[in-house]
Structure 1
Amino acid sequence: MTMRDFRGELQEIFRDLFDDDDIEIHAGTTAADIKGWDSLNNVRLVVMIEKHFGIRFSTGEVVSLKDVGELLSLIEARAAG
């Protein structure tokens, strides 16, 4: 799977969670850019990502993420390993 594939699947997860088919994520997207992306939805997002890709993140990894680009890199690393 390529980074582009991961991004497309992640975008669909965002659209589903935030119930917005117009969401377009990019590497620099942060919680401030998505209406409703609060701490509770962040937990939901992480759970949905873990289930979808069959991976697990540590709490430290999740809290250190700055943007979608870092999240994508972590997903790719986990999925490859």
Structure 2
Amino acid sequence: MKDDKGLALKRLINNQISEDWKLWSEEHPNLSAFIDHNKLVELTVQEIDRDENIKNMLEGLAIEEYQYQVIHRLIQSIQRKIKFCAKTMGI
């Protein structure tokens, strides 16, 4: 990533993560107690770093709105996994 584009993308990712996880923690307070906000952000960033397709898609999308949508779908996927794990643990 070029530096300017990389910084803009990091800002965008941080904004979307914060917004999505804040709403999610309000909707699921029992799960918020189970896993803290910082860990949720870390999981999201790790998922982006781990998946070359997501990283390339985010870097290739010129329109911020599309980048937000990709990040939002990724976060929703992580949230579903957390809900499933919590459910199997009886939380």
Which one has a larger percent helix, Structure 1 or Structure 2?
2
Greater gyration radius: 2
Say whether the fold is shared (TM-score over 0.5).
no
TM-score, normalized by length of structure 2?
Answer: 0.33
TM-score, normalized by length of structure 1?
Answer: 0.36
